[in-house]
A and B are shown apart, each in its own frame.
Chain A
Amino acid sequence: MIVRRLSPFNLVSIALGLTFLYLPIAILIVYSFNDSRLVSVWGGWSLRWYRALLEDSAMLEAAFVSLRVAMLSATLATVLGTLAALALVRAGRFRGRLAFSAMVYAPLVMPEVIIGLSLLLLFVAADFSRGFWTTALAHTTLTMCFVTVIVQSRLLDFDRSLEEAAMDLGCPPLRTFFTVTLPLIAPAIVSGWMLAFTLSLDDLVIASFTTGPGATTLPIRIYSEVRLGVKPEINAICTLMIATVALIVVVASLLSKRYSSTQERRAALGGPPM
């Protein structure tokens, strides 16, 4: 590793950038350990808001709903997103491929308000009772395209001769997919799942359109509490959420890094690629 000396200009811009991004979060985390009842007055270190949180059943229930929605929608999105990626990379130039890929990627660029509103109209028109299931479905729609992007990029640099080698050795095509292809793209699928999970966990806009009574997600709960004034408890729950999301992001990036470094090692040793 070459450590390059940074110029003063670079140092200042890094410091400013990091401050801009992370100072608010750092303040929030520090204040979640504040002993004072007033949000903006420092009263010494304490875990009292975390204890208070444990007794706040409404908040805990909202967190539980959010986790369930995120689990379900991330899993659905991963299955569908992986299938979409396989179709886009492997099915060749089928009729309507361009339209299909445009439709898969649309939620990536569509404003969330519009996705939320259109899903709301759909659920009303179809006479679905809104709640847990509609939110999970909406989040699946939102996050599927992210899984597709990740899995597709892995499939694109997947060495097809590995599958051919498996078939050459007597492995039928479907078994080849499960014994060779799937294990090798698994890191991408897992990081896709994790991304979908975090996106679902912190979504407020779409959830507020598509949820109903009895299925208040955590972001909605927090938002409605904050409107009545910021309670220190909110800082505590937000800190926990940040910790959860950060953990998942770190695991996902480690997974994909491990994958790409084995790929590189393979390329370095394996001579010319096909």
Chain B
Amino acid sequence: MPDRQLSDAESAIPGRPPPLVRFASVSRRFGPVTAVDSVSLDIARGEFCALLGPSGCGKTTLLRMLAGFERPDEGRVLLDGEDITDVPPHRRAVNMMFQNYALFPHLTVEANVAFGLRQENMPAAEIRPRVADMLASLRLDGLEKRKPAQLSGGQRQRVALARALVKRPKVFLLDEPLAALDKKLRSETQFELRELQRKLGMTFIVVTHDQEEAMSMADRIAVMNRGSIVQVAPPRDVYEHPISRWIAEFIGEINLFEGVIDSTGPSGTWVDTPAAGRVHTPNEVPARKGDNAFVAVRPEKVLLAPFDSDPGAYNSASGTLVDVAYLGDTSVCRIKLDRGGFMRATITNARRRGGEPVAPGAHVALRWEPDSALVLVR
């Protein structure tokens, strides 16, 4: 058990307490395909880290390297300062929850959970109370004698959790933990997992392709694409400050406008875009005047208003509302810009009977704050 929790800022600073898990430029190739390409990542004790990426980005392979099911072709894997690259899976102090849970169908719930402790040659008198405690804490008491086939999806997931956590691993790995659950159960389970991790103070590494899942649970997200980690940051930063166009488009919805940099410096950046006009952002970017860049604005940061006389000199556009998709909590508006291209704006349906502030076909003005937009040069 870690004696204290590390904040995100601390874990990100090298030279502080040594990381619990360290991937040191690991690569793994399957024939001509490079699944993981020279990835380095440190994960601190007590952290909840998410590996997020589209399918085939190498996130599962990275996780399996830590579990011991894949051997890196290059690089080392360290756990608690110890090189475990050549340690077989059954001698590693990490446990994994499999995507399909991999419960032993021929064993009862109780025997499934006790399986790991039996391997440690723990006396039965010690196993029994630990298994009972674990089952009770995951609300599985009463199901001890059932077989996995007789459980619901949510129960099976909790048995899989119990089976791994009862071993008290140094690191708990979760491979798409919520993929097999239905939507409602999924959002409940997200919070439960988060709470469980805080309570146990254990290090969790979760692999997921679902950004909402990663954002709601993790302290830090490592976004992966094509075998590499493209950004590691807390959820808010990944969403608000993606460092590349690919990440901006992968995480959430975003409006992107191509443009040319006019100036950039400590006082901010000016970009001229054909579709959205002149854009100002407060951040400085590593580019020069005349370089191509993208301006990114999240739909929920766009303010939509009926068209009036003066739309403003910058950070604004005008267009025709094409359609409104009512989603209950919010509505997504699609606007055809007067100077070409489309833009999305999300409006919150705060009032029950407000009706649409603007109707499809209306001419509208769009504005956004300078710090709502982002200039991306990659």
On A, residues with C-beta under 8 Å from B are 159, 161-162, 164-173, 175, 180, 183-184, 262, 265-266, 269-274
Q: Point out the residues of chain B lying under 8 angstroms from A167, CB to CB.
A: 68, 88-90
| Chain B residue at minimum C-beta to C-beta distance from A263 | B105
| Chain B residue at minimum C-beta to C-beta distance from A264 | B149
Q: Point out the residues of chain B lying under 8 angstroms from A173, CB to CB.
A: 88, 90
Question: In the complex, are the beta carbons of A159 and B88 less than 8 A apart?
Answer: no
* Shortest distance between the CB of A174 and any CB in chain B (Å): 11
Question: In the complex, are the beta carbons of A164 and B102 less than 8 A apart?
Answer: yes
Question: In the complex, are the beta carbons of A171 and B119 less than 8 A apart?
Answer: yes
Question: In the complex, are the beta carbons of A180 and B104 less than 8 A apart?
Answer: yes
Residue B180 is within 8 A (CB to CB) of chain A in the complex: yes
Given contacts A180-B104, A265-B149, whether A166 and B180 have CB atoms under 8 Å apart is no
- State which of B91-99, B234-242, B254-262, B316-324 sits at the interface with chain A: B91-99
Instruction: Give the distance in Å from the alpha carbon of A173 to the alpha carbon of B120 in the complex.
Output: 15
9 cross-chain pairs, A with B, having the tightest CB-CB distances, nearest first:
A271-B180, A169-B116, A170-B119, A165-B102, A161-B102, A167-B89, A265-B149, A167-B90, A161-B98
Given contacts A168-B90, A170-B90, whether A269 and B167 have CB atoms under 8 Å apart is no
Instruction: Give the distance in Å from the alpha carbon of A109 to the alpha carbon of B98 in the complex.
Output: 42
Question: In the complex, are the beta carbons of A266 and B152 less than 8 A apart?
Answer: no
| Interface size of B as a range | 35 or more
Given contacts A162-B102, A165-B104, A166-B104, whether A269 and B156 have CB atoms under 8 Å apart is yes
Task: Summarize B's interface: helix, strand, loop or mixed.
Answer: loop
Q: Point out the residues of chain B lying under 8 angstroms from A162, CB to CB.
A: 102, 104-105
Instruction: Give the distance in Å from the alpha carbon of A164 to the alpha carbon of B90 in the complex.
Output: 9
**How many residue pairs, one in A and one in B, have C-beta atoms under 8 Å apart?**
89
Instruction: Give the distance in Å from the alpha carbon of A262 to the alpha carbon of B180 in the complex.
Output: 19
Q: Point out the residues of chain A lying under 8 angstroms from B105, CB to CB.
A: 162, 184, 262, 266
Q: Point out the residues of chain B lying under 8 angstroms from A262, CB to CB.
A: 105, 149
Instruction: Give the distance in Å from the alpha carbon of A147 to the alpha carbon of B113 in the complex.
Output: 34
Question: In the complex, are the beta carbons of A270 and B100 less than 8 A apart?
Answer: yes
Instruction: Give the distance in Å from the alpha carbon of A215 to the alpha carbon of B96 in the complex.
Output: 57
Question: In the complex, are the beta carbons of A161 and B100 less than 8 A apart?
Answer: yes
Question: In the complex, are the beta carbons of A271 and B149 less than 8 A apart?
Answer: no
Question: In the complex, are the beta carbons of A271 and B100 less than 8 A apart?
Answer: yes
Question: In the complex, are the beta carbons of B148 and A266 less than 8 A apart?
Answer: yes
Q: Point out the residues of chain B lying under 8 angstroms from A165, CB to CB.
A: 96, 98, 102-104, 163
For this complex, 12 residue pairs linking A to B, each with C-beta atoms less than 8 Å apart, are A164-B98, A165-B102, A167-B88, A167-B89, A168-B90, A168-B164, A169-B163, A169-B164, A171-B115, A266-B148, A270-B101, A271-B153
